Amino acid sequence: MMKKMISMLLVFCLGCMLVPAMADASVEGTWKLDRIVAGEQVLDSTILASMQAEMILELRADGTFTDRESIGDDVTEYSGTWSISGDTVTLVPDGADASTVGIQGDELVLDTGSSVIYLVRDTGAAAAPVTGTPKAVVAESISQFDGEYVVTGVSIMGMTMSLADLGMDTNVVLTVQDGNGHLVSTYTNGYVWEEDVTAEFQDGKLVTSPITMGSGMGDLTMEISLQDDGSLFAVTKIPYSGMELDATFVMVPADQVEQPAA
């Protein structure tokens, strides 16, 4: 099915099952993710590009579709059939429930109730480079990860969340030395959680031992990659309500983060 590009608080309510009809040329073609709106928060194409979040939906003339969604190197693909009735497109993925997408002018719009996802036609034109977007680099040694990092945000299924959205304040710090780390999380209720983290150096990345997280997240294993701006991206899967949500924690060197006044 269309991948749930949502946070733990933004869960899709999928549409009802409908019988596929013949495809309509008015929406036939390739569509791409343009922006996500959740309340007053807008993730435009520039922000999505900085998160390395993409979604490509291809509606074919024979009534079949493919949906390719990615966040960095994490790629998920779906396929199935599609139909159209009035201003509504229904997607029926193989082996899954249907979802409905509205047609609004030149856009396809998926209203989840908590967020609205907008798709525009993919004309094939190359996107302009995003200034300052970090790129992953292959570390040559484990010592390149040494330092103190502050978690500045989390991308969960394509939706960026602040730490406050997770019930945490901004003082979440990971200190790394020779593959060994110490993680300190301070919650808004005053609770402080600490844990030692060990990791192995594999293919230019750090792969951690399971980390016991709070807020019902369970034990997480993270694959940490070094970015060309000195930040770290920690990719993991968060168990939630019987499913696993793809998540990327963004960690910035502490000396680049403005610390709150004492």
The CATH number that applies at residue 41 is 2.40.128.280
Look at residue 128 and tell me if it is in a domain. no
pLDDT value at position 16? Answer: 25
pLDDT value at position 235? Answer: 86
206 token code pair:
């750090």
> Using CA atoms in the order 38, 252, 241, 213, what is the torsion angle rounded to 10 degrees?
-150
Look at residue 58 and tell me if it is in a domain. yes
Residues 151 and 244 in one domain: yes
- Listed as ranges, residues in the chain with pLDDT below 50 are 1-25, 126-131, 260-262
Look at residue 68 and tell me if it is in a domain. yes
Please state, as a whole number, how many other Cβ atoms lie within 10 Å of the Cβ of residue 149: 26
Residues 208 and 96 in one domain: no
CA distance 152 to 252: 7
Residue written as token pair 């201003």: 87
* pTM greater than 0.75 (yes/no): no
Domain boundaries, position 55: 29-121
SS3 165: helix
Residues 192 and 141 in one domain: yes
Number of domains in the chain: 2
